[in-house]
Amino acid sequence: MANAEVVLLDFWPSPFGMRVRIALAEKGIKYEYKEEDLQNKSALLLQMNPVHKKIPVLIHNGKPVAESLIAVQYIDEAWKDKAPLLPSDPYLRAQAKFWADFVDKKIYALGRKIWATKGEEQEAAKKEFIESLKLMEGKLGEKPYFGGESFGYVDVVLVPFYSWFYAYEVFGNFSIEAECPKLIQWAKRCSEKESVLKSLPDHKKVHGFVLELKKRLGIE
Amino acid sequence: MARTELKLLGAWPSPYVMRPRIALNIKSVDYEFLQETFGSKSQLLLESNPVHKKIPVLIHKGKPICESLIIVEYIDETWSSGPSILPSDPYDRAIAKFWGAYVDEKWFPNLRILSTAEGEAKDQVIGTIVEGLDLLEDAFVKISKGKTFFGGGQIGYLDIAFGCYLGWLRASEKMSEVKLLDEAKTPGLAKWADTFSSHPAVKDVMPEVDKLVEYGKSLVAKYRAAKAASS
């Protein structure tokens, strides 16, 4: 497929946006990155994602694809000749999609509770968060990536949260590396890839963002 | 395919369980349906889906596949010589998946809320459900392009994803005494709903509305009892 117009509506700290950035970089696709101010959403965003009004939105030849997992799958299919992200075997594909769905159901929501709550609620979130990461660590096993020998779909889906780990650790007062050393090794390995390096923000910047967000939301 | 090679763990009231059943019917694939008893999970379920412990679970040659829409995609890819369930064009696939995620995450949860809502809250959730149906009507018109189903001339992924909720939609209308799917407001969807429900791949696995109403009422009663006990 020719690299016709590709635009990404995004917001720099969004782990969901990072997924799409990584996928585009893996495929070597040139695109226009448009930073959205979520407090003042652009007319283009509202037009391209009227149902949810959320980022990321991938726009390919004027046609919008919303929802990060759907966008990553779309990128994999539309540019199928380079760096395949999903495996070709139906059972392995189903497994990869299952774990991506698990990340969406658990990691983001629990991570949010870690920085946004205190006391019992926070402790419960931390516990479940670590349990979820351990489950994924177990799934990784001795492989270099969730995709096996090569970086794949589940890696793309999970690694953005690595840029948020520092913020979770500071606000949650715990060490993710102490609990899940193999997962941190995996994250560091992924971070050596140019596609990931280019797509993840500095974790101190993310921490600063969360501090400001907490102030704005009136959370202690 | 020998029946023992393919099992589906499910339960008759679950809309999610309907999804792989319709998909397997479309592919004319035979399977063993193992009904879970509500209130207790079988050993096989706990072993096959240790992460979520939920149905449906498809077990193919001993290997489990979980999450209803992921199972539907697996069925489409594995029995690729049968009629296609997902569209072939990447953009059309993305649109089908977008609306599938929408009905699951945004629209259907409101039906559950409706079952126990009262007064202003009830009016509000009815409004939300109807607004969602308006959006889906627009989507239907755009995606079906004048044909019978979201999938065109044949039932496809989005028909399955959304259509599995029709039983509970009709049950909710009876339980809450309100018209939700109105052919005056959403004529495309109203017609589609009838055609979908009577399709050979669907009609035997769509639970009867009166049975769902009875089951729904028992769930609401349990919820209210639990609420009263804890207040």
CA distance B158 to chain A (A): 14
Which residue would you say has higher pLDDT here, B231 or B71? B71
* Radius of gyration of chain B, Cα coordinates, nearest whole angstrom: 18
| Minimum Cα–Cα distance from B75: chain A residue | A90
CA distance B92 to chain A (A): 10
Q: From CA A151, how far away is CA A189, in angstroms rounded?
A: 10
| Minimum Cα–Cα distance from A65: chain B residue | B94
Chains A, B: CB pairs < 8 Å: 54
Cβ proximity of A85 and A23 under 8 Å: yes
Q: From CA A93, how far away is CA B223, in angstroms rounded?
A: 38
The number of beta carbons lying within 10 Å of the beta carbon of residue B29 is 15
CA distance B90 to chain A (A): 6
Strand-pair category, A6-10 with A63-66: unpaired
Is the pTM above the cut of 0.90?
Answer: yes
User: Which residue of B54, B66, B97, B98 to mutate against A (max A Cβ within 10 Å)?
Assistant: B98
220 residues of chain A, pLDDT tens digit each: 444 599 999 999 999 999 999 999 999 999 999 999 999 999 999 999 999 999 999 999 999 999 999 999 999 999 999 999 999 999 999 999 999 999 999 999 999 999 999 999 999 999 999 999 999 999 999 999 999 999 999 999 999 999 999 999 999 999 999 999 999 999 999 999 999 999 999 999 999 999 999 999 998 7
Contact check, Cβ <8 Å, B70/A73: no
The number of beta carbons lying within 10 Å of the beta carbon of residue B32 is 13
Closest among B153, B150, B157 to B193, alpha carbons compared: B150
Give, rounded to a whole angstrom, the gap between the first and last alpha carbons of chain A. Answer: 49
B115: pLDDT confidence band, cut at 50, 70 and 90? very high
Chain B residues within 8 Å of chain A (Cβ atoms): 51, 60, 63, 65-67, 70-71, 73-74, 77-78, 90-91, 93-94, 97-98, 101-102, 106, 135
CA B70, chain centre distance (Å): 13
Contact check, Cβ <8 Å, B67/A98: yes
CA distance B59 to chain A (A): 11
Interface of A with B in 102-121 (CB under 8 A): 102
Tell me which H or E stretch contains A18. helix A15-26
Contact check, Cβ <8 Å, A90/B135: no
The yes/no answer to whether this complex scores an ipTM above 0.90 is yes
Whether the link from the prior residue into B50 is cis, omega within 30° of 0, is no
Contact check, Cβ <8 Å, A98/B93: no
pLDDT digits (tens, 9 = 90+) for B141-151: 999 999 999 99
B65, amino acid identity: I
**Whole-number pLDDT of residue A220:** 75
CA distance readout (Å), A87 to A92, B40, B86: 6, 35, 18
- List CB contacts of A117: < 8 A, sequence separation 6 or more: A125
| Predicted confidence (pLDDT) at residue B161 exceeds the cutoff of 60 | yes
Closest among A115, A35, A27, A29 to A76, alpha carbons compared: A27
Q: From CA A172, how far away is CA A220, in angstroms rounded?
A: 13
Contact check, Cβ <8 Å, B90/A135: no
Chain B contact set for A78 (CB, 8 A): 90-91
Helix (H, G, I), strand (E, B), or coil: what is residue B202?
coil
